[in-house]
Structure 1
Amino acid sequence: MKGPSAWCIDHPVATILLTFALVLLGVIAFPRLPIAPLPEAEFPTIQVNAQLPGASPDTMASSVATPLEVQFSAIPGMTQMTSSSALGSTLLTLQFTLDKSIDTAAQEVQAAINTAAGKLPKDMPTLPTWKKVNPADSPVLILSVSSTQMPGTELSDLVETLLARQISQIDGVGQINITGQQRPAIRVQASADKLAAIGLTLADIRLAIQQTSLNLAKGALYGESSISTLSTNDQLFHPDEYSQLIVSYKDGAPVHLRDVAKVVNGSEDAYVQAWAGDRPGVNLVISRQPGANIVETVDRIQAALPGLEAMLPASVEVKVLIDRTQTIRASLHEVEITLLIAVLLVVAVMALFLRQWSATLIVSAVLGVSLIASFALMYVMGFSLNNLTLVAIVVAVGFVVDDAIVVVENIHRHLEAGDGMREAAIKGSGEIGFTVVSISFSLVAAFIPLLFMGGVVGRLFKEFALTATSTIMISVVVSLTLAPTLAALFMRAPVHNANNKTTFGDRLLAGYEKGLRRALAHQRLMIGVFFLSLGLAVAGYIFIPKGFFPIQDTGFVLGTTEAAADISYGDMVKKHLAMAEIVAADPAVQAFSHSVGVSGSNQTIANGRFWIALKKRGDRDVTASQFIDRIRPQLMKVPGIVLYLRAGQDINLSSGPSRAQYQYVLKSNDGATLSTWTQRLTDKLRSNPAFRDISNDLQLGGSITHISIDRSAAARFGLTASDVDEALYDAFGQRQINEFQTQINQYNVILELDTQQRGKAESLNYFYLRSPLSGEMVPLSALAKFDAPTIGPLSIAHDGMFPAANMSFNLAPGVALGDAVILLNQAKAEIGMPTAISGNFQGAAQAFQSSLASQPWLILAALVAVYIILGVLYESFVHPLTIISTLPSAGLGAVIMLWICGQDFSIMALIGLVLLIGIVKKNGILMIDFALEAQRSRGLPPEEAIYQACITRFRPIIMTTLAALLGALPLMLGYGTGAELRQPLGIAVVGGLLVSQALTLFTTPVIYLWLERLFHRHSHPPAPAPATALATTD
């Protein structure tokens, strides 16, 4: 029965056409693949936002956050629940297991909100709202909208009702967040003095407005021949209309609203502002839908912008502030260049060793077909073109040519022996078929554990593993079908001449023969070298600094500002503008935006946000991290405010806004104790040079003016604490007392004291309430006393319903995350932190801890998988051990090269080590397969068999190793956007291949003989070593 190779050789037309079909499928699939920075890694997360304007952080935490948390805690599959409560708002973040359906979770969250509604404050303007978010997904586009003539409220309304809605309808667009938005509102600013003089309260104003501006159903007139809908002027839309409202009568004369208050157009929140560079404006932060092609989505938005701008007034300018696809395109372009360089280097190696263009072109054809066809499988599996899948293809270049090299080189050897083209192709491919399958199957086995990695890391590398394995499996088929077919048609016997004896390959082989004879003559030394490399590899892994993912330079920098907790809005704006001047002056900055006030995830006036886009990598002299280090000292010159910067990452595992790359959370039942020890730990870490930008979110310096109510005195007037609270809320809470609707939006009416009075504590002395018993006006001073201002938190955080404090930190250059974890735990022990306070890492640091615990098991699982596959293929318990013995030296080389290059052992380096497990054992397979066949078919003793195996297979071993090494070399030496992510993998592979190649060519044959004697001494007594194998030269 003919094998597949022989059938293909006999049917060259069918083979070539079927191969062409594979290529055609890949060509069709390639432009249809989505483009993304990384594989889709949806992290099921829902954010719940609750608003109660004017409510203190303590009120929001106890009366809003807690009832919601109680209901949310019963939702199955929830892994983490955090909340942050500030003045007037609570933001809850719910994270679920990766296998939880986000749609199911959303339904359960809505049901929990409905259940909790009865326990929430009655005067909340609306029930809490929720939205699906993916922390691992960064915004793809940030637009800035500004105008030199239009007021901020009108601009915000235009952005919300026109621009944002039109963009949201574009295919691929997900969420759109508007920062710095000043939603239009009508503000009623009452004068406490005038109200008191007339005998009115703010409650009278509120009720009058609520009763005179309505939008209710009125019915219709049903006539005999027509129907007419009823309409009234019951709804008011303009400040002038509100000003004319009669709110009371004084001495028989009407009192209009304008007599006691100013009614003006304003914004819902008077304390929010954003800038695009130095121009006030509004920013649109746009995210993509899950699975959408980022580049195509942004291109659609860019194409639609001219038409949208034409619909806007001439004074409105729309600018692209940050376009993430620029760095994505640049990064993918760099990978594509890396792939091209790898292919050219590999082809050059083939030409050097084979010395025949036909053989070189056959290997090149197998390489091209395998790589292009892999795009079709990627499309079928729903993958995207991203940094990891393209890196998998780059790495696969070395694997793919391995199969083709082994087949073509064996055919080439038969041609050298004098066989005809067809005979050589059939013999060569038939002899080597099992070896090719063994190499590829055992290589695929090394990837199997990656498919079972848990968490978001496992999701990221699933596409990497499947892309690499599918490319390898395609190469097996093509190498055993197309390669022998083309060899039978085009490969010629090499022309022998005197020059052939002095080629580089011949000299290399001669040197190896000499070294091999010495190694076989000193077997105990070689065994010692093997165990030494094993020990050093294990020790190196234990002691090398561990990391998560390398810090990338995406050209995008995020910033969070923090000022004194009691800072005024005006002072915060001044300090922000001062920092903006420093940012604008840096030559690496292309564009930037910043905002202050309560907007989106920013919950306090004392905090703000910066978004900074750096110039293209080739147009600036610093990386993103170096830019942060350079500008940090200049920013510190602005007094009273700190700007925490961090480089934007493609891999973002933080569940919420963070001041730095890494997060650590402390929890306790006692909030006061928690605050004390959090500050002590923060101070301790700030004294350690390994940490940068240490901060926490306590913000305890907020000023609180406390009013002590005399309940007995209030009762004499028929007043209660509730009456006092309502009056204070009317005056100082920016209370939403009414709303009016248009065809395109809904707007609020805000009640407050006059701007000159609401910022002063003295205005409380002129505050009056009406007694329900006598109707007289009662000054607030008769019911309460005013305490001196005290200090309190600006925000209150919960983690799993417990009071929590969130710490953030960056690392100094050269400090690995694994070292930082150890140092942080040491700092806790040194300050004597009580056991009542628990702590755990979150975000990237938490994922790092999980991956660190599973790393040894992942490596072990890869080894076991390879052993099982090899054991099944060879029907032996022993020979797989010989093959796997090639791996310790590879691990040692990887660790040494990482240490030389100043890299920690990151997840990418771990993947490189897993790749080495698949690559390096190829040397052992090529040797052992030949030796076993020589022993079985020719009856050679083990010593002679392994010697001939090493000499015969030396050329394909060197060629395949060089192919894999040169395929990884561009990754190691990569420069440009995204190189930081790829370099550790390339460094590990190159280092592992260099050391393993230097050692395994000599240790593997010795270990083969050692295991032969150890396991087969009874059935196979050792024969005398042949002179060719054991002769030494002195």
Structure 2
Amino acid sequence: MILSDLSIKRPIFATVMMLALVTLGIFSYKRLAVEMFPNVEFPLISVVTTFPGASPETVEREISKRIEESVNQIAGVKHVFSTSREGVSTVMVQFQLEQKVNDCAQEVRAKIGSIRGNLPQGIEEPIIQKLDFNAAPVAALAVQSDTLSARELTTLVDKKIKKRFESVAGVGKVEMVGGQKREITVDLDPVKLDSLGLGVNDVVSGIRSENTNTPLGRLTRGTAEYPMRIDGKPDNAGDYRLMPVAQRGGRPITLGEIAQVNDGVEEKRKLALVNGRPAIGLDIYKQSGGNEVELVDTVKNVMQKVQKELPPGVSLSMVRDGTIMTRDSLADVEETLLIGGILTILIVFCFINSWRSTVITGVTLPISVISAFIIMNAMGMTLNVMTLMALSLAIGMLIDDAIVVRENIVRHLEMGKDHMEASRFGTAEIGLAVFATSMSIIAVFIPVAFMKGIVGRFFYQFGISVAFAVLVSLFVSFTLDPMLSSRWSDPSIHLHGKRKGLARWLELFNDWFDLTSDKYRGAIGWALDHRKTVMLAAMAAFVGGIVIFGTLESSFMAPEDKGEFQVAFKTAPDASMAETEGRLQAILAGIKDIPEIDHTYATIGAGDSGTVRDGLVYLKLKERKERKRNQFELQRVVRERFQRIAGITLSIEEVGQIGGAQKPLNVNLKGDDLQVLKQLGQRLKEELYKVPGIVDLAVTLEHDIPEYRLRVDREKALSAGVTTNDIVGTLSRLVGGEAISTYEDEDGDAVDVRVRLPEALRRNPGQVADLKVSLPDSGGATKLVPLASLVTTRVATSPTEINRRDLARQVTVSANLDKLPIGTAVKHVEAAAKRINMPPGYSVNLSGEAEDMAESFGYMGESLLLAVIFVFLILAAQFESFFEPFAIMLSLPLSIVGMAGMLKITGDTVNIMSLIGLIMLMGLVTKNAILLVDYAKVLQKRDGMARRDAVIMAGRTRLRPIVMTTLAMIFGMMPLFFGIGAGGEGRAPMARAVVGGLLTSTLLTLLVVPVMYTYMDDLGGWLKRKWRGEHANR
């Protein structure tokens, strides 16, 4: 071969090429960013439109539906979701993954612009933005103090600590959770307002006109020019009481006469607790595409500096580090990579029994692995679990070519050839077969890299990394290995019977293996004499494998013990902050005696959409070696304890899920009537409650929110000259409270000035009707109109939100799963859906993990088919035959026997990882068959050997490299096989599927492939004779 001959002749040239690859690989490695998973961009666009005062039904009808119908026309849209809440419409447009997110955002913006005139007046401008599907804090900090008040601590955090972290490079945003900011509250006295003939609008106008800082122009003095400004803002908060807001009876009315002015804090709407103690949380978000590990390291360094600057009694701690799992998983995969490499090299040493030959063979591993970093850096990849797992799984494959080449060279040395001749002839003889085996593996991983859907995005880097590493290993096997074999003589090859110690034991092992190889020659002969029996046995094994495969349960991914989880809970729709806080304290009290919990971080109202009803408890567990129970057992304990707490709906959630935290089982009921959907949802929930393993069931629209509805009598309002907007303005300020101005504190920061009713009046809905609406009369004075004369009041219920998907209303029944695979849960859902008798016009569909699983399995099926086709085409090109490849490809279905059996034994499901293992097998199991069939054909053509003798001799000669490469691949995957370490449970099914498939495929291939080869040879000969006979007759 050209490459091997050139390397043998020019050893320095071959060495320089290897050094260049290693050097580039090391420099590329240093430039790679580190993250848990590949950075996948999901094209998801949100449109948020605010319509103050509108009910969910109005928001849905006037805004959400119109936007949905507009954006649904855009090419590439996969799903359109909308949520209509009181005063807010949120429409999310999910595009196919192949779409560019910036182009999607532009098209959505254009569509919204085209219908802007059809949206109702009074709405705020729609906000269109790209959403990060994986947006989650990379870290959470907590600030606590035993010496500062809530207001003082909040001011310290807001003005100093928060800003320090916002300025850190790579930080996208810092969200403060808990604490109470300073606020000037103006609690108006309705009785005093009435006695003076003042309305709330008069007070607001008065405050705004007095609390001003306005430029007046410029004064010129000589050659100088001075700006003039009036500064009407109070110097201190107490001066607000002296601020005139109106004129009555020829005298000014001060704010202190009609209101209680307090320099206090804002209303408590968020809360953070660390181990049950009050704290202020700081959630750190990274910029899109940022390196989360580097960012958290930087945040930790900044924390040390900030802590030194804090007042005595104030502590700053990190309560959640989102990179722990990333670091642990990467460290575990790196360790797996190292252990796998060592085990692989030990296998080589056992069979070759020569440290020099082992070094010549083993040097392929570090060069191939390090060189893989070149393509990763060049293609913008990162160092993540997928890329490192790819290299871990490929350890055995990367050394295969070198094993086969070196073994063949050693065989020729033992035949008496010198090192130069043995290196040339040995490499050339096996070269085409080695090339075909490597191309078969590459042909399998390229379709994996280019699968569609979510699974394709995450396995893109996986497939490319393996394909490039295998290509480099092939290059090294054809260059460096022959060169070293030709120059670095190995005297141990000729020391048979003269070794000592370990070498002597290994020599005895190899003698035993040679005897076994001789017996294998007889086994092949028996198989060739009983071809039908062998084929029937193979068919029976395959059918058995299919039967076992059919009994396996399916899931999207295997669960992993991450050492952390969180409990999300909701209180009743009418629950106050105090009510939710009480439930939170009950939750914390219920888990404080669990010894495996390291610490807790609890919040209320966190996140952009968090309300006083939304609570979250993050539980960080101790290290695995320090706890007796795993994460899943602890989740069951926590769930059982929380279910005893009345008034909450809870959900156990995984932390750091791809696509954010959501339940795995989501069943959507679609239709038009909300009441019918609500009833169907409850019935389906009741049916699913009966299924063991389906837990944390919840239904959207399960609880309506009670509300006080004021209906305007338009005839009376018209005669009084009052508009609905006047009523809304008055009540929103008095009941809801409105920040109407700002006060500039001593640091120059703005403090809100909020007008509202006193808390006692805001608690009493009956007193709302006693309020008065103010409006100017014809004489310019203020006219007060009693609200009770304009409206009627009643208590009613309203849906908290209305959800839609793909232009139809829907109710979603969601649930977590406990020891129940998603595939089995889906079957129960389908059966339950049939029992509830859906009325015409209503339908059921699945979303979330079930939808992702079905879609991903379909794409993986396509990838599997492409892999088989590509392998066949490569084999057909190598053997120049369309029949003989079938003899080799018979090993493909035989691998299913071991794969299914191994998954059954280990209790694994058919999931993404195990299916990737199946696809890998399509390339791996053909290697052994190629080596056997290729050498049989060489013996027939080159040495004129009879077919039977050639097949038997090929089996005897190639048994050693076949067993060596198979064991190298198996032992290289052993660390992954046992699933030890962080995240090992999720990666183990892939290795188990491959190991099981390799074991049975290799054992069956050794007998079945020789038989199938003779059948295909007979078929090819018959067709040739028939073809020649037909032409002869012509």
Q: What TM-score does the superposition give when structure 2 sets the normalisation length? A: 0.92
Quick one: which amino acid aligns to residue 708 of structure 1? R
Distance 1:298 1:291 in 2: 14
Q: Which shows bigger deviation, 510-519 or 409-418?
A: 510-519
Shift in CA distance, 697/296, structure 1 to aligned 2, threshold 3 Å = same
Give the aligned partner of residue 245 of structure 2. Answer: 247
The 3-state SS of whatever aligns with 1:383 is coil
* 1:115 Cα deviation from its structure 2 partner: 6.8
- 1:711-790 alignment to 2 at 5 Å? 711-739=714-742, 746-770=750-774, 777-787=784-794, 789-790=795-796
Deviations 1:914-970 (A, max 9, x none): 111111111110011101111111222322211111111000000000011111121
**Which deviations, in whole Å up to 9, do the C-alpha atoms of 1:789-829 show, x marking residues without a partner?**
2332233333345433333211121x221222222122111
Which range is displaced more, 148-157 or 1006-1015? Answer: 148-157
Q: Does 1:361 align with 2:359?
A: yes
Q: Is the 8 A contact 2:34 2:384 kept in 1?
A: yes
Q: Structure 1's 292 and 714: CA in aligned 2 closer, same or farther, altered over 3 A? A: closer
Contact 2:678 2:702 in 1 (8 A): no
For 2:705, the aligned partner's letter is: G
Deviates more, 1:6-15 or 1:851-860: 851-860
**Within 2, Cα distance between the matches of 1:214 and 1:183?**
22
Give per-residue Cα distances to partners, 1:628-666, cap 9 Å, x unaligned: 1121111223222233112224x4225xx63x2343333
Partner of 1:496: 496
2:330 & 2:113 partners in 1: Cα distance?
46
Match of 1:964 among 969, 985, 1004: 969
Q: Report the 3-state secondary structure (helix = DSSP H, G, I; strand = E; otherwise coil) of the residue aligned with 1:38.
A: coil
**Which residue of 609, 615, 618 corresponds with 1:611?**
618
Percent identity between the two aligned chains: 30
1:97 and 2:96 correspond: yes
After TM superposition, give the deviation of residue 401 of structure 1 in Å.
Answer: 1.1
Cα 1:793–1:1019 change in 2 (3 A) is closer
Question: Is 1:1008 the equivalent of 2:1013?
Answer: yes
In structure 2, the residue matched to 1:947 is 952
1:404-483 alignment, distance < 5 Å = 404-483=402-481
Q: Against the structure 1 CA distance between its residues 202 and 300, is the aligned structure 2 distance closer, same or farther, given a 3 Å change threshold?
A: same
Which of 969, 990, 996 is the equivalent residue of 1:991? 996
Counterpart for residue 19 of structure 1? 18
- The correspondence of residues 535-934 of structure 1 with structure 2, limited to 5 A, is 535-597=543-605, 599-649=606-656, 651-654=657-660, 658=662, 660-739=663-742, 746-770=750-774, 777-787=784-794, 789-813=795-819, 815-934=820-939
Q: Distance in 2 between matches of 1:262 and 1:373?
A: 73
In the alignment, is the contact (CA less than 8 A) between 2:521 and 2:952 conserved in 1?
Answer: no
State how far apart, in whole Å, the 2-side matches of 1:481 and 1:34 are. 32
- Among candidates 267, 270, 283, match of residue 268 of structure 2: 270
Determine the C-alpha separation between the residues in 1 that align with 2:810 and 2:179.
30
**Is contact 2:651–2:816 with CA below 8 Å preserved after alignment?**
no
Separation in 2 of the partners of 1:56 and 1:525? Answer: 76
Structure 1's 366 and 751: CA in aligned 2 closer, same or farther, altered over 3 A?
A: same
Mean Cα deviation higher: 335-344 or 91-100: 91-100
Tell me the SS of whatever aligns to 2:315: strand
Cα distance in 1 for partners of 2:777, 2:856 equals 69
Q: Decide whether the 8 Å contact of 1:662 with 1:842 is kept in 2.
A: yes
Counterpart Cα distance in 2 of 1:105 and 1:166:
35
892 and 177 in structure 1: CA distance in 2 versus 1, 3 angstrom threshold: farther
For structure 1, which segment, 999-1008 or 41-50, has the greater mean C-alpha deviation from structure 2 after superposition? 41-50
Q: Cα–Cα, structure 1 residues 622 and 274, in superposed 2: closer, same or farther, change >3 Å?
A: same
The separation in 1 between residues aligned to 2:542 and 2:878, in whole angstroms, is 26
Task: Tell me the SS of whatever aligns to 1:231.
Answer: strand
Contact kept in structure 2, 1:356 and 1:494, CA below 8 Å: no
CA distance in 1, matches of 2:470, 2:271: 55
Question: CA–CA distance in 1 between the matches of 2:623 and 2:114?
Answer: 51
RMSD in angstroms over aligned alpha carbons?
2.8
Structure 2: gaps spanning 5 or more residues: 499-503, 1027-1034
CA distance in 2, matches of 1:985, 1:969: 11
Q: Which residue type is aligned with residue 385 of structure 2? A: N
CA distance in 2, matches of 1:76, 1:257: 58
CA distance in 2, matches of 1:722, 1:360: 86
Secondary structure, counterpart of 2:257 in structure 1: helix
Q: 1:261 to 1:59 in 2, by over 3 A?
A: farther
Equivalent-residue separation in structure 2 for 1:807 and 1:626 (angstroms)? 25
Contact (CA 8 Å) 1:53, 1:733: kept in 2 or not? no
Give 1:497's aligned amino acid. G
Instruction: Say whether the 8 Å CA contact 1:440–1:476 is kept in structure 2.
Output: yes
Cα-to-partner distance string for 1:69-127 (whole Å, 9 max, x where unaligned): 56655655443333334455554434333233333444555666677777777777x74
Q: Which amino acid aligns with 2:896?
A: G
Tell me whether 1:6 sits opposite 2:5 in the alignment: yes
Q: Is the 8 A contact 1:45 1:133 kept in 2?
A: yes
Name the amino acid aligned to 2:495: V
Matched residue of 1:1017: which SS? helix
Distance 1:544 1:12, change over 3 A: same
Aligned-pair CA distance for 1:192 = 2.5
Distance change (3 Å), C-alpha of 1:36 and 1:801? same
Alpha-carbon contact 2:682-2:702 (below 8 Å) kept: no
Partner residue in 2 for 1:1024:
none
- 2: distance between equivalents of 1:262 and 1:55? 31
**Whole-Å separation in 2 of the counterparts to 1:115 and 1:425:** 73
Amino acid at match of 1:198: L
Does the residue aligned with 2:1008 lie in a helix, a strand or coil? helix
Counterpart AA for 2:754: I
Q: Superposed, which structure 2 residues align to 1:113-124 within 5 Å?
A: none
Post-superposition shift, 1:779? 2.5
Counterpart position of 1:205: 203
- Contact kept, 8 Å, 2:210 with 2:245, in 1: the verdict is no
Cα distance, 1:857 vs. partner? 2.5
Contact map agreement 1:83 1:799 (CA 8 A) in 2: yes
Residue type of the alignment partner of 1:851: S
Matched residues in 2 for 1:993 and 1:44: separation? 39
Q: 2: distance between equivalents of 1:351 and 1:362?
A: 11
SS of residue matched to 1:205 = helix
The more displaced of 402-411 and 318-327 is: 318-327
Q: Is the 8 A contact 1:717 1:771 kept in 2?
A: no
8 Å contact kept, 2:214–2:229? no
TM-superposition CA deviations, 1:149-187 (whole Å, max 9, x none): 444455445444443443233333334333336454433
| Cα contact 2:449–2:462 (8 A) shared by 1 | no
Instruction: Show the counterpart of 2:1031.
Output: none
Equivalent residue letter for 2:666:
Q
When the two structures are aligned, how many residues end up with a matched partner? 1012
Structure-2 residue corresponding to 1:531 = 539
Shift of 1:906: 0.4
Tell me the distance in 1 between the aligned counterparts of 2:157 and 2:512: 70
Letter in 1 for 2:516: L
